[in-house]
């Protein structure tokens, strides 16, 4: 599979009172983590990469939800196959990041994300590790109260969604 091992970009976001984020695990961005050059079907390459590393329950979408949300019972990986998007990660006080084809983000449970811009033709691929249960939480004080009890119970993944069992994510999330 076509992978580049870029230096991961990490961010840790503080709880903002509505989105808990994750107090222990950083958000990870692999710029150009999957080399899509010359690939006619980038979405298939991304899905094969995620699957080969044990991440499943995949989805495809033409946007990142336009409302602030997070998952309190599972971690999430997202990659851009086509187009580009601007996403705010970490809630209102988080960071706006432009993501383009080949970029992969890995969000630890609790990390807020909200699509602010989607280019025409955007195609986002998402996946989850096998340990955890999918849920969706909107940014609210009530959801946050429950989520802060759930987030510490989400086990770390055993593999990096792009680079496998020896990938940078494993060390970053065990440090």
Ramachandran sector of residue 5 (left: φ over 0; alpha: ψ -120 to 50; beta: rest):
beta
- Residue 135 predicted with pLDDT over 70: yes
Q: What is the pLDDT of residue 6?
A: 74
Q: Band of the pLDDT at 132, cuts 50, 70, 90?
A: confident
Instruction: Report helix, strand or coil for 138.
Output: strand
**Residue-level pLDDT at 150:** 97
Q: Which residues contact 90 (CB under 8 A, 6 or more apart)?
A: 11, 13, 14, 16, 19, 21, 27, 111, 112
Residue 2 has pLDDT above 80, yes or no: no
CA-based Rg of the chain, rounded to a whole angstrom? 15
3-state secondary structure of 19: coil
Phi, psi of 5 (to 5 degrees): -100, 85
| Residue 1 clears pLDDT 80, i.e. is over it | no
- For residue 52, is pLDDT > 90? yes
pLDDT at 98 (0 to 100): 98
Residue written as token pair 């970053």: 172
Predicted confidence band of residue 155 (pLDDT cuts 50, 70, 90): very high
pLDDT for 141 beyond 90: yes
Please compute the mean of the pLDDT values over residues 139-165 and round it to a whole number: 96
How far apart are the C-alpha atoms of 43 and 101, rounded to whole Å?
10
Give bridge partners of residue 152 from the DSSP assignment: none
Report which of 136, 149, 103, 90 is spatially closest to residue 3, judged by C-alpha positions: 103
For residue 71, pLDDT beyond 70: yes
């Amino acid at each position: 599979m076509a992978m580049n091992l870029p230096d991961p970009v990490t961010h840790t976001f503080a709880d903002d009172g509505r989105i808990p984020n994750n107090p222990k695990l950083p958000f990870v961005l692999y710029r150009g983590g999957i080399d899509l050059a010359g690939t006619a079907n980038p979405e298939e390459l991304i899905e094969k990469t995620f699957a080969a590393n044990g991440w499943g329950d995949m989805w495809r979408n033409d946007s990142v939800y336009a409302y602030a949300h997070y998952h309190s019972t599972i971690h999430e990986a997202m990659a851009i196959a086509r187009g580009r998007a601007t996403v705010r990660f970490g809630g209102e006080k988080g960071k706006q990041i432009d993501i383009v084809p080949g970029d992969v983000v890995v969000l630890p449970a609790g990390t807020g994300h909200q699509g602010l811009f989607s280019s025409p033709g955007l195609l986002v691929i998402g996946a989850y590790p096998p340990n955890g249960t999918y849920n969706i939480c909107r940014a609210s004080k009530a959801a946050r109260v429950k989520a802060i009890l759930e987030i510490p119970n989400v086990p770390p993944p055993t593999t990096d969604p792009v680079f496998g069992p020896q990938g940078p994510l494993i060390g970053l999330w065990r440090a």
